[in-house]
Chains A and B, each alone.
Chain A
Amino acid sequence: MTTYDLIFYLFALIILVSAFIVVAARNIIYSAFSLLFTFFGVAGIYVLLNADFIAVVQVIIYVGGILVLIIFGVMLTNKITEVEIKTESFQVLPSIIISGIIGGTLVAIFTKTNWKVAEPQILDKTVTEIGRFLVSHYMILFELAGIILLVALIGSVMIARKEKLETEEVEK
């Protein structure tokens, strides 16, 4: 086991533990903060994979943008900090069995399969390459992602506005 592996497993552990806390925590604030570590862990793995640009983007967007937004949302929502969110489990036994089977199969797949391994490439300018790819090879995908985000935006605005209109109606 090389140092490289060691670092990888460290990050993986961080991701798993913090992701578990996100789900299991009873207080939403704890969940939100725990998510921070998950995102950082993922960024760390990107760094290990030599994907510097993606790692940076991960930190800026997920940690700097999305997470902060979530925490703001939590903070600004009335009384949500005191709400006990439901994290009780039911149907424990069946779900353990099913996820055990699925998990076992996946582990078997991951350990036994001959994955196609790409030649490691050392790129000095990843940003340029990504940019080039996005506007040539995957241009259509890039554009499509834009439309998807726009649709998501419209949807969220619609849902948000719906609430507002309803409250206005109630006030009237």
Chain B
Amino acid sequence: MENNSIQNILESLNYFTPELALMLTFFVLLLVDLFFRKSKYLLPAISLVGFIVSGYLLVYTPDVKGFLFSTGMTNIGLYVIDPFSFFFKILILLAMIYTILFSLSSKEINEAGGNRGEYYVLLSSFALGMFLLTSTIDLLLMYLSFELVSLSSYILAGFTRNVKRSAEASLKYIIFGAVASGAMLYGISILYGLTGTTNLYLINFYLSNQNIESLPLVIAGLLIIGGIGFKISMAPFHFWTPDVYEGAPITITAVLSVASKAAGFALLIRSLKIMFIDYTATNLQSSAWAILSQFKWNELIAGLAVLTMTLGNLAALWQSNLKRMLAYSSIAHAGYMLTGFVILDNQGIMAILIYFFIYLFMNLGAFFVVMLIADKLGSEEMEDYTGLGYKAPFLGVSLTIFLISLTGIPPTAGFVAKLYLFGALIKAKWIWLAVIGVLNSVISLYYYLKVVKNMFLRESEIEYSHNLGHGNLLITLSLLIPTLLFGIYFKPIIEFAEQSVRIFGF
């Protein structure tokens, strides 16, 4: 039996290569950093190569749709590889690659001196943690990878030296994060106590075959949702977001707002879908939240979604700091995406996937432009953007397009994202939720346009000229073109998302 399980693990490793590549990157970076501190481009180059290799392995890994690392009855597996995780891994890799590219031209990062090495090391461990989160089906592995992601991001958020708000952000993040992961661990322990297993599928099996009191299950579910909700900055666990996003270096803010949120959503969808859906039922479509039917999970989530988007949007209205505004807007976007989670059928999940894919480009784009301007201007205050559209037309127009896309106005990709999300809601007859959603996007228009107004509708005498350089121009374009193109021709994303909604076993 022992040999057998070793054999199984070794076989599983064949499918685990993308993660192994990330691990290898992590160690190589650590070692290289020891010996070649001075080189500016070596570390980012290694990270990029690592991520690309991992992506290559990801694409060419056979799609097994099976359990990895299963070693007999007590452990039927820890990890699955399915189209769903593939989608999120691609998303995460893209976000990571962009982050590395951003970091190359970021003033904050380049002036960090001696700590630059750790920055790249931690980015790769961050990526590894998120990879694991998207595919884990075991509560233990889930918790550990959650901690890996959290630890890496705590340190990254406080990365910039000598910046007080960065240190403050990091500390706040750690305290909130510790509470959140503590809560999640508590929920996990209750679940384990009820079912005696940490495997999501076995939990589901046990829950659907045994009569279980609803109270502990509800509490456990709430605690787990709360812990993950912290990662995706869902209200009322969003308090850390503005401070951390404002304090962290912009590159990290960008990656936190996209990749870490994506990993959180992947985990949320996978764990709740597997645990709480009675998939012995014939029609999986209607069986959403089948276990615990007496507790209205989806209404709870709907309420949280409304709270999240409304709080995010209303708070964003009053911000004068662009980074902080984008932080609140990212809370609001998490709220929109949660509405897709309310439905939890394939249509809803597909809408979330589409939203994320588009959100990646538009949000990273907005952050990148803000970063470029902040490096030059030394400020992220909206006041200082006055008349900027005329001094730096390309950046001004790009930022406008990204913001319009975030609002969700055609012909930008953001519209397609909202279209599918609200479409899913309408189809599932959650009319009131859809109405609140669209009203929220009207509110969001106001604060996004405030930036545009400052850039174009006002003029100022300030001297500002921006020599973008080819690299930054290319990066901006590579984000801008998908934002526009997917607005007009969105077939590829829909198809990709459609193929990716298949969670293993469903």
Q: Point out residues on A near B: beta carbons under 8 Å.
A: 105-106, 108-109, 112-116, 118, 132, 136-141, 144-145, 147-148, 150-152, 154-155, 158-159, 161-162, 165-166
CA distance A162 to B159 in the complex (A): 10
Quick check: is B283 within 8 A (CB to CB) of the other chain? no
CA distance A161 to B159 in the complex (A): 12
User: Judging by beta carbons under 8 Å apart, are A108 and B215 in contact?
Assistant: yes
CA distance A148 to B490 in the complex (A): 39
- Where chain A touches its partner, the secondary structure class is helix
Interface residues of B in 109-155 (CB under 8 A from A): 114-115, 118, 121-122, 125, 128, 132, 140-141, 144-145, 147-148, 151-152, 154-155
In-complex Cβ contact of B196 among A118, A132, A141, A152 (8 A) = A118
List chain B residues, Cβ under 8 A from A106.
219
CA distance A115 to B74 in the complex (A): 18
List 26 A–B pairs whose Cβ atoms lie within 8 Å, in order of A's numbering.
Answer: A106-B219, A109-B216, A113-B194, A113-B213, A115-B194, A116-B196, A118-B196, A136-B9, A137-B72, A138-B140, A139-B69, A140-B69, A141-B78, A141-B140, A141-B144, A144-B145, A147-B125, A147-B148, A148-B151, A151-B151, A154-B121, A154-B155, A155-B151, A162-B161, A165-B114, A166-B162
Chain A: CB-nearest residue to B78 = A140
List chain B residues, Cβ under 8 A from A136.
2, 5-6, 9, 71
User: Judging by beta carbons under 8 Å apart, are A137 and B74 in contact?
Assistant: yes
Quick check: is B101 within 8 A (CB to CB) of the other chain? no
In-complex Cβ contact of B194 among A116, A141, A161 (8 A) = A116
User: Judging by beta carbons under 8 Å apart, are B71 and A161 in contact?
Assistant: no
In-complex Cβ contact of B122 among A112, A132, A138, A151 (8 A) = A151
List chain A residues, Cβ under 8 A from B328.
none
CA distance A27 to B147 in the complex (A): 31
Chain A: CB-nearest residue to B147 = A148
Return B70 CB to nearest CB of chain A, in Å.
9
Quick check: is B293 within 8 A (CB to CB) of the other chain? no
List chain B residues, Cβ under 8 A from A161.
114-115
Return B444 CB to nearest CB of chain A, in Å.
32
List chain A residues, Cβ under 8 A from B215.
105, 108-109, 112-113
CA distance A118 to B122 in the complex (A): 40
Chain A: CB-nearest residue to B152 = A151
List chain B residues, Cβ under 8 A from A158.
115, 118, 155, 159
